[in-house]
Amino acid sequence: MRERLQWLTPGDDERLRDWARRLAPYAVVTVVLLALLVGVGAWVYFDYLAYGPTESPAAVESEYDVTVESGYGGYVVRPNDQPPDGERAGLVFYPGGRVEPGSYVRTLAPLAERGVTVVVPAVPLNLAVLDSDAASPVVSNENGIDSWYVGGHSLGGAMACRYANGNADRVGGVVLAASYCDVNVSDSGLATVAITGTRDGVLNRERFESNRRFLPADATFVSVEGMNHAQFGNYGAQDGDGEATISTTTAHERVVAALVDWLCAEGEAVGCEDGGRLGRPAGAELDITAARAVRVGGWTSREVSGPARI
């Protein structure tokens, strides 16, 4: 190659430079077009084709004593019957990857009915990894909340954990729904609950187990029999997921019952005195997590044992 270049004359060199100058604008246009194509493709895949709710989020207002508002790009679900001052809890729930915020309103509406203000913020391209600080404006701007918790589904849970890791002075605990922490919060003092479904085909089980070491020693683990990954929300089937053996309604009831049980243990005013009836009449039969606490390697594990009469 070097020998061939030695045959180039000054005129040849000038012609090459002129050729390069002529092609430069086309090269720039090509790069810009490729960037646009990548951007549009990302928007279509992560936003336009994202998993959305199967109903209007506001539909829960006819079933639960809550008010659904637009806020933080997503939704705020407020209890109509607010707890007394000094006893108000809030939960910022990060959506899973490629899942719209409205997909979690139905899941968490019963928790809001029990006095917890629930916020599901929007994140760029429905990817919480692009804004792990999504809880910050919520915690700063929502007045009257005495204790904050952050959590999320799948990717959202991992990002909520990152936020909590850097803001342990602002939040009291972490809720992991089919998720795990990818940062070490074992010495943070954060209350932690991790809820999974036995039919989940999306969660990386190996990573979930290996990352237990990142959680506090008193973290609570809840396994819901028959529940799959998508049933943490209300957006239908998800690619690669397992086949659920319980209904989505039952799955939601068990998730909320587990959260109520956990929040009661943390001293929150979420109707703990009614035995976890989730607003149903006394004596009503409800498919909830009848949990049995078992010590497993220093963590509290809870296994579902079927319907419980409450």
For position 290, what pLDDT does the model report?
Answer: 35
For position 285, what pLDDT does the model report?
Answer: 34
Quickly state the pLDDT bin for 69 (edges 50, 70, 90): very high
For position 293, what pLDDT does the model report?
Answer: 37
Mean pLDDT of the chain: 83
Eight-state DSSP code of residue 217 = T
Residues contacting residue 163 through CB under 8 Å, at least 6 positions apart: 132, 133, 134, 135, 136, 150, 171
Residue 13 has pLDDT above 70, yes or no: no
For position 272, what pLDDT does the model report?
Answer: 84
Amino acid at 33: L
Amino acid at 174: V
For position 28, what pLDDT does the model report?
Answer: 60
For position 33, what pLDDT does the model report?
Answer: 55
Helix (H) or strand (E) holding 94: strand 89-94
Residue 296 has pLDDT above 90, yes or no: no
41-51 pLDDT, tens digit per residue, is: 444 444 545 69
For position 23, what pLDDT does the model report?
Answer: 62
Residue 87 has pLDDT above 50, yes or no: yes
For position 49, what pLDDT does the model report?
Answer: 54
165-205 pLDDT, tens digit per residue, is: 999 999 999 999 999 999 999 999 999 999 999 999 999 99
- This prediction's pTM: 0.79
When pLDDT is averaged across residues 111-122 and rounded to a whole number, the result is 98
Closest CA relative to residue 309, chosen from 273, 285, 277: 285
Least confident of 115-129, 221-235, 295-309: 295-309
Quickly state the pLDDT bin for 271 (edges 50, 70, 90): confident
Length of the chain: 310
Q: What are phi and psi of 193, to 5 degrees?
A: -130, 135
Strands 173-177 and 285-286, sheet pairing: unpaired
Angle subtended by helix axes 248-265 and 105-113, to nearest 10: 40
Residue 248 has pLDDT above 80, yes or no: yes
For position 29, what pLDDT does the model report?
Answer: 62
131-140 pLDDT, tens digit per residue, is: 999 999 999 9
- Please state, in angstroms and rounded to a whole number, the distance separating the CA atoms of residues 171 and 198: 29
89-114 pLDDT, tens digit per residue, is: 999 999 999 999 999 999 999 999 99
Q: What percent of the chain has pLDDT over 70?
A: 72
